[in-house]
Amino acid sequence: MGRKLLNEELNRLSIDDFKKSPKVPIIVVLDNIRSLSNIGSVFRTADAFAIEAVYLCGITAKPPHREIHKTALSATESVEWVYFKSTEEAVRSLKERNYIIVSIEQVEDSIMLYDFEASNESIYALIFGNEVKGVDDNIIAMSNYCVEIPQWGTKHSLNISVTVGIVLWDIVLKLK
């Protein structure tokens, strides 16, 4: 086993270089997320996977905010973000630009994440819902697909920051 790499050896991009670099054609949409730590974590994950942007909707807090910054570690400066008063407004805007709307939610006839086929010919908006209520029913109705992470335990629920990491990892790998 090799030695642990030093921070200087990780070839990290500067914020300016990151902003100029190619992005994965995915927009993460946060539908009324309450937790500032979850929001910060989503920004950090979006930075790690070079995601196009994060859309913050409804009650989802916006940067700058000390509690978001604690988990984002400056990713709010590298990742593009836009605020919308409602998730419906964000989704309408995305549909007008031909994004495929994918709600990450447990619904009848959802597609298991491992069966979801992402195509390099498409651009995606992934909707992640409120920590208690999930993705709003109106947004589910506006979606092209609903995708679910298979789970085998007793809870059948994951923290949103964990969900975002799993879903982005899977879909980014499929697109690459």
168 has pLDDT over 90? yes
Is beta strand 124-129 parallel, antiparallel or unpaired with respect to 24-31?
parallel
Percent of the chain as helix, strand, coil, to the nearest 5: 40, 20, 40
CATH number at residue 47: 3.40.1280.10
| Within a domain: 10 | no
pTM: 0.96
pLDDT of residue 1: 87
Predicted confidence at residue 63, as pLDDT, reads 97
Domain-embedded: residue 43: yes
Is residue 9 in some structural domain?
no
Contacts of 149 (CB under 8 A, 6+ apart): 104, 112, 113, 158, 163, 166, 167
Q: CA–CA separation, 32 vs 42, rounded Å?
A: 13
Residue 62 within a domain: yes
